[in-house]
Structure 1
Amino acid sequence: MSKQTQFQVHAVSPAYWKVTFENGPINLIDPDTIDELGELVTRMEQDPDLTVVVFQSANPDFFMAHFDLKSDIQRVYTTAPGPTGLLPHPDTLLRLSRVPALTISAINGRARGAGSEFVLHTDIRFAGPNAILGQPEVGFGAVPGGNPMGRLAELVGRGRAMEIVVGGEDFPAKLAAEYGYVNRVLPEGELDDFVDTFARRIAGFSKAGVSGTKEFVDAATAIPAGDYAAAMAAFRRTAGRPENAAHVRSLFERGLQQPQGIELDLGKRIAERF
């Protein structure tokens, strides 16, 4: 088992954890992220007292930017399947959505691609006014691999899910809340206190009541594991094709995966062709 370096766990109480994510200048998701998150989810599944978990970012501009396109993607495909029988990335997402504790994303900054997929698999999403969410994969020529299609269709409806995933644009916090992509937007400076107060409220309830209620909501909104396998297979077929190489190279030349440049407004810039 690897040491947790990207996800720092602070146990506020036996029932309430705060988990802070930090990985490089823009919080990219890489194979190590997936491995560490899988281990963290296992801890969450096995803890008999844990009732609520808040996920937050150490970076005010990037909650989770997206998958690191320079990392070893083959490792994601060749690592042994997880407990659900799925490859590690979809396995972790599906298990995260099912843990017997309430999970909350406190989103400041950008959550795109695999970062958006992560927050979509937490139970509740609260956002600060500067949060930005999006699924830019189609702009890279790929099908999203973490099945945001299923989650978004359930949350926002078919038409809006199509707009988000196929359009590949950024969704600022206010519009994301109007669509149902996030639960609500808190005013500047109020997100952390609001989420902490809400989490402490949940932590004060019986775990049996919280987890038992969540089971019914999960049953009513369940997405078959096979859909996740199909989405990951589609991503593997479509990502990194030679016909997309020049476009991806131009994105890196304009600051992809750097704190400045096109990462700040990727949803707009990804559609530009040079």
Structure 2
Amino acid sequence: MASLSTLLLRGPTLLRCCPRLFAARTYAAGGDFKYIITEKKGKNNNVGLVQLNRPKALNALFQPLIEEVNQALTVFQEDPSIGAIVLTGTEKAFAAGADIKEMSDKTFQSCYSGKFLKDWDSVTQLKKPIIAAVNGYALGGGCELAMMCDIIYAGENAQFGQPEILLGTIPGAGGTQRLTRVVGKSLAMEMILTGDRISAQEAKQAGLVSKIFPVEKLVEEAVRCAEKIASNSKLVTQMAKESVNAAFETTLAEGVRLEKKLFYCTFATDDRKEGMSAFVEKRKANFKDN
């Protein structure tokens, strides 16, 4: 949740972005944004791209940026042509944490009565799959935001951490819970109690990251994965996502029961019929998302 940008760098620093991938137009249906860039990607324009765009602040998270991210994700969720979404930052930082300037003067009363951070986990409510493409720093809230996504791809320079303890506080957007579920108690406890960061390679070994790519190839590879996901039935994909998420939120018996119900539900879809028919007929399935 906390930002280490003031500890990592002194003075303003302009961050370098990959011009080929990020010289993108604002996605018209998503409106004009100040702190993010949105675009449709992929050969069939079926992937939504959301790029955090506060380079001078290392993409530090604060309420206006979170509101724009939630707005963009809602637009992509409601767009029937979009099958998956990629969330990324810059080559220097995915997000270096929450903006300390926004938090420094808050009190217990203002946090509690105002429900501070209440909408920061809206990412987890999205039905469509989200891939976090993490280059550079993913610290505090940045690490928490990445963990809210369904898949994490990392650039070779990625660093993950929950350094809130160094600022006299603890993670507040799910860090203690999601990190522990993913990497286990020992590593999560060490990271949270010391504030130490782990590399992309360590994150992959711990199961936090799915794959690692060269920095300049990361977003391209994330979009490629998103395209593959988007080529399947969007309806059934959402069922699969719901079932996998249940593994983290329910008991094994409850999760298996939900999986069985959702499996049965696929037999009420035209896409299940098409998928199996295509397999038998040895052709590519033509899903209609119904």
Regarding TM over 0.5, the answer is yes
Q: Which amino acid aligns with 1:92?
A: W
Question: In the TM superposition, what whole-angstrom CA distance separates every residue of 1:2-32 from its partner, at most 9, and x where no partner exists?
Answer: 9522121102256310111111412111221
Q: Which amino acid aligns with 2:66?
A: I
1:64 aligns with 2:95: yes
CA contact (8 A) 2:97 2:142 kept: yes
Q: Distance between the aligned counterparts of 1:53 and 1:76, measured in 2?
A: 35
* Greater radius of gyration (CA): 2
Which residue of the partner structure matches residue 147 of structure 1? 174
In structure 2, relative to structure 1, the CA distance for the partners of 1:66 and 1:9 (3 Å cut) is same
In structure 2, relative to structure 1, the CA distance for the partners of 1:189 and 1:14 (3 Å cut) is closer
Aligned length: 217
Query: Alignment identity in percent?
Result: 27
Match of 2:66 among 24, 34, 45: 34
Q: Distance between the aligned counterparts of 2:175 and 2:215, measured in 1?
A: 28
**Secondary structure at 2:239's aligned position in 1?**
helix
Which residue of the partner structure matches residue 133 of structure 2? 106
Match of 1:46 among 62, 78, 82: 78
Match of 1:209 among 203, 212, 236: 236
Q: Distance between the aligned counterparts of 1:44 and 1:163, measured in 2?
A: 37
Q: Distance between the aligned counterparts of 2:216 and 2:83, measured in 1?
A: 26
Question: In the TM superposition, what whole-angstrom CA distance separates every residue of 1:113-163 from its partner, at most 9, and x where no partner exists?
Answer: 111110010000000100111110011110111121111111111112112
In structure 2, relative to structure 1, the CA distance for the partners of 1:7 and 1:203 (3 Å cut) is same
In structure 2, relative to structure 1, the CA distance for the partners of 1:201 and 1:80 (3 Å cut) is farther
Match of 1:193 among 183, 208, 220: 220
Q: Distance between the aligned counterparts of 1:206 and 1:11, measured in 2?
A: 19
Which residue of the partner structure matches residue 48 of structure 2? 17
CA contact (8 A) 1:34 1:88 kept: no
Q: CA RMSD in A?
A: 2.8
Q: Distance between the aligned counterparts of 1:15 and 1:122, measured in 2?
A: 18
Question: In the TM superposition, what whole-angstrom CA distance separates every residue of 1:10-56 from its partner, at most 9, and x where no partner exists?
Answer: 02256310111111412111221122223234334434443200012
Question: In the TM superposition, what whole-angstrom CA distance separates every residue of 1:70-117 from its partner, at most 9, and x where no partner exists?
Answer: 126649986999xxxx93624331x31231111001111111011111
Q: Distance between the aligned counterparts of 1:77 and 1:198, measured in 2?
A: 44
Instruction: Specify every segment of 5 or more residues in structure 2 that has no aligned partner in the other structure, as ranges.
Output: 1-29, 251-290
**Secondary structure at 1:119's aligned position in 2?**
helix
CA contact (8 A) 2:143 2:160 kept: yes
Match of 1:7 among 33, 36, 43: 36
Residues 75-94 of structure 1: pairs in structure 2 closer than 5 A: 87=115, 89-93=117-121
Q: Distance between the aligned counterparts of 2:77 and 2:231, measured in 1?
A: 19
**Secondary structure at 1:196's aligned position in 2?**
helix
In structure 2, relative to structure 1, the CA distance for the partners of 1:210 and 1:21 (3 Å cut) is same
1:221 aligns with 2:248: yes
TM-score normalized with structure 1 length: 0.71
Question: In the TM superposition, what whole-angstrom CA distance separates every residue of 1:155-210 from its partner, at most 9, and x where no partner exists?
Answer: 11111211221221111111111111211212454323322221111111110111
In structure 2, relative to structure 1, the CA distance for the partners of 1:77 and 1:106 (3 Å cut) is farther
TM-score normalized with structure 2 length: 0.67
CA contact (8 A) 2:120 2:173 kept: no
Q: Distance between the aligned counterparts of 2:108 and 2:67, measured in 1?
A: 9
Q: Distance between the aligned counterparts of 1:4 and 1:151, measured in 2?
A: 29
**Secondary structure at 1:197's aligned position in 2?**
helix
